[in-house]
Structure formats: C-alpha cells, structure tokens
Amino acid sequence: MAEPDVQSLSIKDIPPPPEGTIFIDDTTGTDSTDVGTSTNSPLKTPAFALYAYPDATAYYVRRTVDSPYEPISASMLKKAKKGVDSIGKKIKAAEEAKIKKEADDARKLAEAKAIVLTEDTSLPAPKKIKIRDSKENRETRVVINGWVHRLRLQKGLAFLVLRDGTGYIQCVLSGDLANAYSTLTLTLESSVKVYGVIHSLPEGKSAPGNHELTIDYYEIVGLAPGGENAITNKVQETAEPSLLLDMRHLALRGETMAGIFKVRAALLRSFRRVYDELGLTEVTPPCMVQTQVEGGSTLFSLSYYGENAYLTQSSQLYLETCLPALGDVFCVQESFRAETSHTRRHLSEYTHVEAELAFITFEDLLHHIETILTKTIDYLLEDPDIAEIVKKLNPHFVPPKLPFRRMTYESALTWLNEHDIPNEEGEKFKFGDDIAEAAERKMTDTINEPILLTRFPVEIKSFYMQKCADDDRVTESVDVLMPNVGEITGGSMRIYELSELMKGFAREKIDPAPYYWFNDQRIYGTCPHGGYGLGTERIMAWLLDRYTVRDCSLYPRFTGRCKP
C-alpha cells in the first residue's frame, strides 16, 4: 500500500502511530533513553530519537502540547540524520569523562586512605579552650571541641567553620590533613576535636572573630550521616513549619535559632539582675495546683493520685503568700493555658516571669513595671555578643524609654472608635467590650510605642482585681502593649480585704474553699499589694521581631503539638 501524502492530510486523516513508534515534542520532551515510547513522555529532538531508537517503526512529532502527533516530515528526518553522529560523539565523550572521573576519584580515595593522620608529639601540648576565648589564645597551640557548622573542600585545602555553642571559628586544613580520607568524607554536624594555632587574618580576608585556626591535627568524635540522611536533607529552611517543628532538635543548631535562645537566656539573666538590684527574692512555686487564676476555660486538668488537679495558669496566688515571709518576690516558672485562641502569640505552655510587691500603690506598680522592662533591655544590650544578635535579627529595634505612654481602657475605646477600628461584632466599641487581639494590635502598631493600658472593667478581668477608688466599674489593672505583638504583660493591684475578695469569687462563681491559703493572706496581716506577669516568648517576639512566639520557645507547645 502506498504511503499517505502527509502534507495533504487533515487532522482526522493522520494515520494512527503503528506499534514501536517513537514520539517527539520539542516543547515538553526530554532527550533521555528512559522516554520516547509513549505519547505522554516524548523525546525532545528528532536527532536523539534516531540515535537512541535507530530501529523504530516510525517517528511521530507534535509541534505543541495541544496539537496531534504527526509522522515526521522527510526534511526533518534528513536534518535529524545529520545530527545523529555528533550526538553519538558527545555521549561517548561524556561517558569516557565519567569513567575517567570515577577512576580518578577511586585513585584519590585510595591515596587518601593511605594517609594516616597522627599528632606531631614535638609540638607544644595544646591548651583546651572554648571558641569564645579564641582571641586571648591566638598564637598558642589549642584544642577545641565542637561541631562542623560549615565545610568547603577546595583543591589541596579544606575550610571548616566549627561551632561549640560559645561561638564560631573558621579552621583551615592543608596538605595531608586536607587530602586525608576522613577529611574528604567529613560531613556537616560531625563532632570533632581540632588541634592547632589561631592566627589573626591578613587585611582583606574575613571570618568570624577576624582569625582562623590552622589545624595541625584533628580527631572525629562522632561522624554525622551524609547523603540521604545528611542534616541538610532533614532541615530545610523552606520546609513547612510543622515539618521544621518535628525536626526542632536539629533545627535548633541553625544560627538564627541558636541566636534566639542565646538572647532568651540573656533576657532571663537581665530580669534576675534587675530583680536582685531591686531586692526581690526568687521563689519557685508549684506547677501542679488545685486552684485557677485566670478563668476555668483555659485549665489543663490532670488526675493527681485520683484527685482533681491542674497545671498552673499563673504563680500569682502563691507569690502573694510569700510577701509576709520574704517581702517582694518574683519567679520564672512555666504557666499552662489550654488556649482556645490559636494565634501567633498563644502557647499552651510558656515561661512566665511574675512578680509581687507589698505595700505599694497602683502608680508604684506602673512605675515598677516600666522600670523593670527598660532596665532589663538596657542590661541585655550591654552584652556586645547579645547586642550583635539583636541587631542582626531586628535591625530596627529601639530600646524603650521611660516613661511609657499611659492610656486608660476608656480612652483606648475612644481612640479605636475615632480610628474606625470595630469591636468583635463589627460595631463601635462600647464600655465593657473586650479589646480583642486584632484591634489591640492595630492600635499598638499605629501608636508604635510601648503603652500601659489601664483601668479595665471589672467584668472582663479576674476575680482578684482591686477596684479603682474613684470608679468602681473599673479595676486597678494594667496591660503592657508593645508594637508588633500587643500585650506582653498583665498585672493589677489585688483585693486585700477578705469580704471584697469573697464578692469577687461569687461574681465569677468560684468556690472559695480551696483558696483558704490564699484567703488567709487577707486575714493574717493583710496589706495593699500588686503584681504582674510577663510573657517571656512575647517579649522575645517583640525584641527580635519574630512573627510568632513559637519561634521563641525551645520546644513550643500549642494545639496539636506536644512533641518532640
């Protein structure tokens, strides 16, 4: 039968491709010997088709994804035949190069394996140091233990950045040290012990600390996996947040994460320093309790040897009992909230810095809170290493200055209404409305400076809050609001008359019996007192400009996450 005249065929007339046809599509195809035999995975070029499938029954080409496959034209076939030879040559050359490279690599590895690294005993005994002490120990032989943070192999040289938790140092290996098998197969995150001398860097070169350790000997303590299980495959910056949280134990090793937790430690250190200067005594109240502080809806219950118990929401009530014994007190303790708000600033467990002060007025409390916050930040920034991390993570951070702007709840409502920011029902704010997170954030971000928001209505605050003497609709309460996170601190004066406190319990429908120890505070030498709680992770989010408080908790707990 005569061949159909392809040029004159309409789409309907195109003959069906016979068995053994090879398909080609210049736009979506790839030139590989794995494809070509099906319409869904075409080859890219006719020349490659002829090279890879010289005995094909037919070659069909399509011009676009939407057009049909048609038999190859005579002119295209002629052109393709010319290209076959050069493809063959290229493939052959590539195969030869690959074989040569494999042989070279095998030879190099064999040579590398033959290199035995030994410590030169004629060198001075090394001094064991931490990386942070590198500068003082330049030009002395040292030994440093750490983890391989970065690694670069170059012809005859190897550079590694070592990390030990106190800093980072660049190390260089040359000669046999660079060519040894253990160096060629070294992996990121391996733990190593390096020996050598730290030299300052010449002008124009840069590395952490402006120096470099010239290694004269090293030992691998624990070789980390490479290939598929390499750390870079386990923790990728662009991975889903929940995958990164599953791998939190490895993600912590990154510079940003490690920096956050160095700053967090410095923050807690600074708080303690300020409290110490102001004469507050640190106490550690229990986490397992049988009373609520901030409302029953966020209590985590547990069975305590068969009795009902909870994880503490706040240590406040316990701090109050310490006043007559120890004077002003503070604690750094975990608080737990079975939060219904799944927001970027709510955790189920957070580190609560709380303080309680005796014989103070509401104004004393406000002044104390703004002082604590400003001094703590000033002390934190006194440490140049910490200041550097803050600058890197939040270049625009401005330390707060005294006094903070004061704003009453009622004036905040006026401000919100004037700025057309509605309440949760989408209406104008009215007295008694809660200022929810979104509205609070908009106001704080617009005002863009710390705010002491005071005098909240009785009904939206806890049972223990003292009412204002000049208006019994509102309480001597305060929230500190910071740009970018909103509320970082909540505090108040406490009711110190027993009969008033009983009214508070009744209003909130709480049985006062389990609170006998707290109530005794009002019986055995009561006094005006007040205190507050600071959310560590929220302060961190503000200080380091983190999108969520989750970044500022070592192993964050929130709805659906209690691991690792």
Q: Note whether 339 binds ligand 4AD by CB under 6 A.
A: yes
**Nearer residue to ligand 4AD within complex by CB, 40 or 340:** 340
Q: Note whether 531 binds ligand 4AD by CB under 6 A.
A: yes
Closest CA to 488 of 377, 378, 360, 413: 377
Q: Note whether 491 binds ligand 4AD by CB under 6 A.
A: yes
Supply the angle between the helices 362-382 and 255-277 in degrees, to the nearest 10. 130
Q: Note whether 489 binds ligand 4AD by CB under 6 A.
A: yes
Q: Which of 43, 487, 501, 529 binds ligand 4AD (CB under 6 A)?
A: 487
**Residue 434 structure tokens:** 């809660």
Task: For residue 454, give the H/E element and its range.
Answer: strand 451-454
**Nearer residue to ligand 4AD within complex by CB, 149 or 346:** 346
**Residue 351 structure tokens:** 């580190």
**Residue 374 structure tokens:** 């400003």
Distance CA 504, CA 463 (A): 4
Tokens 């989750």: give the residue. 550
**Nearer residue to ligand 4AD within complex by CB, 134 or 489:** 489
What is the pattern of x (binds ligand 4AD, CB under 6 A) and - over residues 195-234?
A: ----------------------------------------
Q: In sequence order, what are the residues at sequence separation of 6 or more whose Cβ sits closer than 8 angstroms to the Cβ of residue 16? A: none
Q: Which of 209, 504, 533, 556 binds ligand 4AD (CB under 6 A)?
A: 533
**Residue 365 structure tokens:** 């409390």
For ligand 4AD, the binding residues in 170-189 under the rule CB under 6 A are: none
Q: Note whether 314 binds ligand 4AD by CB under 6 A.
A: yes
**Nearer residue to ligand 4AD within complex by CB, 294 or 370:** 294
Identify whether the C-beta of residue 380 lies closer than 8 Å to the C-beta of residue 372.
no
26-34, 270-278, 343-351, 372-380 -> range binding ligand 4AD (CB under 6 A): 343-351
Distance CA 349, CA 337 (A): 6
CA atoms within 13 A on the CB side of 261: 16
Its sign, for the CA torsion 244, 348, 341, 546, is negative
| Beta carbon of residue 370, minimum distance to ligand 4AD (angstroms, whole number) | 15
How many residues does the structure list for the chain?
564
What is the pattern of x (binds ligand 4AD, CB under 6 A) and - over residues 442-481?
A: ----------------------------------------
**Nearer residue to ligand 4AD within complex by CB, 331 or 380:** 331
127-135, 202-210, 382-390, 527-535 -> range binding ligand 4AD (CB under 6 A): 527-535
Q: Which of 538, 543, 544, 556 binds ligand 4AD (CB under 6 A)?
A: 538
Please give the full DSSP string across 118-143, using - where no structure is assigned: ---TTSPPPEE--GGGTGGGTTSEEE
Q: Which of 488, 543, 544, 552 binds ligand 4AD (CB under 6 A)?
A: 488
* Burial group, residue 377, by CB count within 10 angstroms (0-12, 13-18, 19+): buried
| Beta carbon of residue 486, minimum distance to ligand 4AD (angstroms, whole number) | 9
9-17, 224-232, 347-355, 396-404 -> range binding ligand 4AD (CB under 6 A): 347-355
Distance CA 369, CA 485 (A): 18
**Nearer residue to ligand 4AD within complex by CB, 169 or 549:** 549
Closest CA to 390 of 260, 195, 533: 260
Q: Which of 161, 331, 439, 549 binds ligand 4AD (CB under 6 A)?
A: 549
CA atoms within 13 A on the CB side of 210: 6
**Nearer residue to ligand 4AD within complex by CB, 400 or 533:** 533
Instruction: Tell me the residue type at 312.
Output: T
Q: Note whether 293 binds ligand 4AD by CB under 6 A.
A: yes
Binding residues for ligand 4AD (CB under 6 A): 293-294, 314, 316, 337, 339, 346-347, 350, 352, 354, 487-491, 531-533, 535, 537-538, 549
